[in-house]
Amino acid sequence: MHDLSDIAHWLESHQTHHESSVNETLPDPTFITGGESVVSFSTNNYLALANHPRLVAAAKSGLDRYGVGNCESRLLGGDLEVYRELERRLGALKHKSDAVLFVTGYMTNIGVLSSLVKAGTLARLHGYRAKKRHKYAYYSDEYNHISIREGIQMSGAERHNYRHCDMNHLESLLKAADGTTPIIVSDGVFSMEGTIAPLPDLVALAEKFGAILYIDDAHATGILGEHGGGTSEHFNCYSPNIMQMGTLSKALGSIGGFVAVDREIADVIRLTSSAYGFTCPPPPDQAAALIAALDLLVEEPERRQRLWDNQRYFIEKMQPLGYQIISTATPIVPVLIGDAEQCRLHARELRKEGVHVDAVQFPAAPLGQARLRFMMNAGHTHAQIDHVVSVMGRLAGRI
């Protein structure tokens, strides 16, 4: 019997395989599963835009015009004005002159980080002759998303991890760099911690050491900043050194990923990233829906305000219960439980009460630091928040 069969049997006997229900609707933030209504505190649909009538209408119009999918690489005849318009809008949101659209956020990180260090080599195949050969090295926050870690690994470049948001440790690593061009990579908002990267300090280090700074703004785009511009807008910190990546399947309610850069860098990425050039883009109806979502970021700022109001309300109600809240900086509010089995028991008890919360444990969280990851939503009502807090209060000290 081959290894995959052995592993499957082992997982079954040890009951360690992943179990999940098949839902009848998607969370907005309430969803139907098994004929019952459940409130999700784990959806990435932060602004409850995925079912917004404007997005649905835009997608339907795109379906009528383009059909259900784009069966071409954009480099080989599959480009459309709707993609170019979306890229212009995403670039403007991030204060960059352009953006490059990918099929998912995961593919964005893999596609850009794996190819960034190879761009010079690939360009030489087309006759480019560099004035200087650069040797690149990555410097990555230890809590970065797995797609970042895999993209860096695929690049083949030298890589160093620095302690979470520890700028002194990062600087010591950069000082030890020998003849390399550094690329600093960090999440803008860390998905399991809810912490925000110290962007001004990262920019200062990038400028001091001549580094490229790559920020994954998956959980910040549409959320942080007065207009939802993300980490840079939150800190009012902009720099030509920053490459700003984002996803479109979270606050913007659709599918896709992008990296916002200056136009000349965008052209390099389009020509050198296999994840862009050798696959199809998101369906054109989704690009149309995303343009509508960007309009709504401007036209309905009250959605973002409700999200933050709900975040503050939840934290205010939770604090007297005695749980340790890992971070209160963003709509990701992780509550530390510690023991993995206790964390799973909490999640199961919450589910019995009509609440879905992710129990996050190793390897997504450090050993001994299992947590319930509460993700707040613009669509939550205070009554729903009161209910989940009431259940958590009953569970405190009982499990």
pLDDT tens string 97-108: 999 999 999 999
Residue in this structure with the two tokens 């609440």, named with its chain if needed = 355
Q: Mean of the pLDDT values across residues 323-347?
A: 97
Give the pair of three-digit tokens for residue 61.
Answer: 């119009």
Environment class of residue 16 by beta-carbon count within 10 Å: exposed (0-12), middle (13-18) or buried (19+)?
exposed
Active-site residue set: 191, 219, 250
**399 falls in which pLDDT band (50, 70, 90)?**
low
pLDDT value at residue 4: 79
Give the pair of three-digit tokens for residue 219.
Answer: 């959980």
pLDDT higher than threshold 70 for residue 237:
yes
Q: Mean of the pLDDT values across residues 124-131?
A: 63
H helical segments located in 160-300 = 167-175, 199-209, 231-235, 263-272, 274-277, 284-299
Helices 105-116 & 146-155, crossing angle to 10 degrees? Answer: 30
What pairing do the DSSP bridges indicate for beta strands 358-360 and 370-375?
A: antiparallel
pLDDT value at residue 195: 98
pLDDT higher than threshold 60 for residue 14:
no
Q: Are the C-beta atoms of 192 and 326 separated by less than 8 Å?
A: no
Higher pLDDT, 345 or 397: 345
pLDDT, tens digit, 9 for 90 and up, residues 139-183: 999 999 999 999 999 999 999 999 999 999 999 999 998 889 999
Q: Mean of the pLDDT values across residues 372-393?
A: 98
CATH numeric code, 53-298: 3.40.640.10
**12 falls in which pLDDT band (50, 70, 90)?**
confident
| DSSP codes joined into one string, 324-391 | EES--SSSEEEEEEESHHHHHHHHHHHHHTTEE-EEE-TTTS-TT-EEEEEE--TT--HHHHHHHHHH
Distance between CA atoms of residues 231 and 228, nearest Å = 9
**17 falls in which pLDDT band (50, 70, 90)?**
very low
pLDDT higher than threshold 60 for residue 18:
no
Secondary structure (3-state) at 168: helix
Q: Mean of the pLDDT values across residues 69-83?
A: 94
Distance between CA atoms of residues 187 and 327, nearest Å = 15
**Residue ranges, CATH 3.40.640.10, the chain:** 53-298
pLDDT value at residue 178: 82
**Residue ranges, CATH 3.90.1150.10, the chain:** 21-50+301-395
Distance between CA atoms of residues 142 and 326, nearest Å = 17
CATH numeric code, 21-50+301-395: 3.90.1150.10
pLDDT averaged over every residue in the chain: 93
Contacts of 379 (CB under 8 A, 6+ apart): 28, 29, 30, 48, 306
pLDDT value at residue 9: 75
Environment class of residue 373 by beta-carbon count within 10 Å: exposed (0-12), middle (13-18) or buried (19+)?
buried
Contacts of 322 (CB under 8 A, 6+ apart): 396, 397
Distance between CA atoms of residues 143 and 192, nearest Å = 8
Q: Are the C-beta atoms of 222 and 46 separated by less than 8 Å?
A: yes
